[in-house]
Amino acid sequence: MTDLVQLESVGVALGGQPILTDITLALAPGETTAIVGPNGSGKTTLLRLLATLIRPGTGNGLVLGSDLRGTVVRSVRNSIGLITHTPALIEELTIRENLVHFCRISNRPERSADRALSVVGLENAANRTVSRSSFGMKRRAEIAWLLVAKPKLLLLDEARSGLDVEARTLIDSLTRLTIERNGGVVTVSHEADGLGSGLAAIHRLVNGRLELVR
C-alpha cells in the first residue's frame, strides 16, 4: 500500500534561514509516528510542511500521493487534520458557529457538528463565544471538528499539553479512530512522555535534522 507521507531529503528554509535539513520520513497507512525535539528544533515547521501549508525548498515530498511542490496538493488538504499550539478557531464566533462554518466550507453535513460537540462534552458550552472559552474547551472544539472531518492524515503538535485527563483520552480516541480508518498520525512533542501509546516509530529532531530513535 502507498505511504501516506514520503519525504526524501527535504529541506525547508524560512526567510533565508534553514529550518529543516535533509529530512527523510515515511508514514504507512495505519501507523503513528512520533517526533520529539527541543523548542525551536523545527517540529512545527515539519508539521506545517506535512499539512501542505509550506513548500519544500529542496528534496522531494509526497503527502497523500500529492507532490508538495505542485498545486494539485490543494485537493488533498481536506483530508488532513492539524492541531497546533494555538487553537485555530474564529474567536468572535461561538464554538458551534465555528464548527458549522467549517462544515459549510468543506461541504459536510451540519448535524454532524452537534453530534461531535456532544461526544467531546461541549454540548452545554456550544453557544459560548470562543474568546470566552478556556484553552481546554477550544482544544475539545478542535477535536470535535476532527471527529467530523475524519482526516486521513492527522497531525498533532503538542496536542496533549495543557489538557486534563479526559481531554487527553479524547486525543487518544481521535488517534485510534484515524488508525482504524487506515489513516496515519504524526505527533510531535518536546518531551517523550507527551506522545501517547502505540507508536510505530519515534524520531528526534535536532537543529532541523531528523534521527530515528526507535
Partner 1 sequence: MTLWRQSKEVMRVDLLVEQRIGDAFRIVLPFAVVAMMIFSLAIPASFSEVGEIGTAVFWAVAVLYGMQVALRTSVSETEQRRDISMLLGLDPAARFIGRSMAAALLLIGFMAVLLVAMVLLFDPDLPSGWFGPTALAVLLAAGGLAMLATLAGEVASGLRNQSALASLIIAPLVIPIVVGASQAVESIATKEGILIWILLLITTDLALLVAGVGLSRPLEEASR
Residue 44 or 173: the one with the smaller Cβ distance to partner 1 is: 44
Cα(141)–Cα(193) distance, rounded to whole angstroms?
24
Question: Taking the complex as a whole, how short is the minimal distance between the CB of residue 208 and partner 1, in angstroms?
Answer: 18
Residue 48 or 160: the one with the smaller Cβ distance to partner 1 is: 48
Cα(77)–Cα(31) distance, rounded to whole angstroms?
19
Neighbours of 29 (CB within 10 A): 15
Contact indicator for 60, 49 with CB cutoff of 8 Å: no
Residues 14-53 touching partner 1, rule: CB under 8 A, are 48, 51-53
Residue 13 touches partner 1, criterion: CB under 8 A: no
Q: Residue 156 in 3-state DSSP?
A: strand
Residue 60 or 129: the one with the smaller Cβ distance to partner 1 is: 129
Question: Taking the complex as a whole, how short is the minimal distance between the CB of residue 185 and partner 1, in angstroms?
Answer: 16
Cα(47)–Cα(43) distance, rounded to whole angstroms?
6
Q: Which of 43, 70, 75, 44 is nearest to 56 (CA)?
A: 70
Question: Taking the complex as a whole, how short is the minimal distance between the CB of residue 53 and partner 1, in angstroms?
Answer: 6
E runs forming strands in 123-168: 153-157
Residue 97 or 199: the one with the smaller Cβ distance to partner 1 is: 97
Residue 54 touches partner 1, criterion: CB under 8 A: yes
Residue 137 touches partner 1, criterion: CB under 8 A: no
Cα(63)–Cα(66) distance, rounded to whole angstroms?
5
Residue 210 touches partner 1, criterion: CB under 8 A: no
2, 17, 39, 86: residue in contact with partner 1 (rule CB under 8 A)? 86
Residue 129 burial (CB < 10 Å; 0-12/13-18/19+)? middle
Residue 55 touches partner 1, criterion: CB under 8 A: yes
9, 106, 134, 182: residue in contact with partner 1 (rule CB under 8 A)? 106
- Contacts of 184 by beta carbon, 8 Å cutoff, 6+ apart: 4, 5, 27, 28, 29, 30, 31, 32, 33, 152, 153, 154, 178
Residue 74 touches partner 1, criterion: CB under 8 A: yes
Residue 2 touches partner 1, criterion: CB under 8 A: no
13, 22, 29, 77: residue in contact with partner 1 (rule CB under 8 A)? 77
Give the footprint of partner 1 on this chain (CB under 8 A).
48, 51-55, 71, 74, 77-78, 80-82, 84, 86-90, 92-93, 97, 101-102, 104-107, 129
